[in-house]
Structure 1
């Protein structure tokens, strides 16, 4: 595959690591993973709120977890984020408002551009 796209699904897949490993497996050399996901908050208080919500929320919302650390999961899968933008949606800081949009490739290295809030 030239590209694998994850759009608001990595919060709810049962085995996030397995899904990411499969993405890496099917990518051809030079392929990319593109992602748009809601992720773990950037403050200790909101992370605690996300953890509390995750006791019940996945059972009510199709498996959705409020605060998965998807960026760490990407790295553990052997992906390097080459471009990323963080943003809040809505602009209010709630347990569900932290998002990332980005591109990753199977290799080593670091983020080349990061921006936005959150």
Structure 2
């Protein structure tokens, strides 16, 4: 029996068509404002960072100089190859590896910060992924999050519920109806700052609710 290739992501998390479409779309998102969101997300981070769901590596160029190293975890093979190309020109050392948010390949308490950027919508289980983030964070470590979330408008939230089963299959596992901030609090994080805003991810697409903020892993579990 041949051992699995450690440099390939899980087969059930490969979405080649979506990954290529996402990589094209994220360039436009960055131009329309996501670049500023990423800068705000990463501002003030320092030391060792684990980035889950690193995608095409759009965050890498915005890490501040106080960050000593980044372990970037990405399950999709195509996006991970793009991320590796960006890592070579990042201002801080970045190592890109295959893996998932639910099984972060890092030791307990080894990270000063965990970055979750447009990924918690698509993990299989938010509670598991956030428990993993707490595991790898040192006490007092920071969870930096930037996510699209469930609308706070009743009609739009109901529409998101209706669309989720189809969208989940078509968009690489994405759930547009998740209340991610509630999940972060439920996981035991202490939210220090958060901003909620509408952001249009595509031209002619109505703004979608997003959150951006920082939370702290408490000293006690």
Query: Which bracket does the TM-score occupy, shorter chain normalised?
Result: 0.7 to 0.9
| Structure 2 CA distance for aligned equivalents of residues 41 and 57 of structure 1 | 16
Q: Which of structures 1 and 2 has the bigger CA Rg?
A: 2
Q: Deviations over 1:58-99 (max 9, x none)?
A: 0000000111010111011101211011111129994x6100
| Structure 1 CA distance for aligned equivalents of residues 205 and 181 of structure 2 | 19
Which has the larger share of helix?
2
1:26 aligns to 2:113 (yes or no)? no
Question: What secondary structure, in the 3-state scheme, does the structure 2 residue paired with 1:101 have?
Answer: strand
The structure showing larger relative contact order (alpha-carbon pairs under 8 Å, at least 6 residues apart) is: 1
Q: Which runs of 5+ in 1 are unaligned?
A: 108-118
Q: Which residue of 2 aligns with 1:41?
A: 151
TM-score when scaled to structure 1? 0.84
Match of 2:163 among 15, 30, 53: 53
1:104 aligns to 2:207 (yes or no)? no
TM-score when scaled to structure 2? 0.46
Describe how 1:64-103 pairs up with structure 2 within 5 A: 64-90=174-200, 94=206, 97-103=208-214
Q: Which runs of 5+ in 2 are unaligned?
A: 1-110
| Structure 2 CA distance for aligned equivalents of residues 13 and 55 of structure 1 | 14
RMSD: 1.8
Question: What secondary structure, in the 3-state scheme, does the structure 1 residue paired with 2:131 have?
Answer: helix
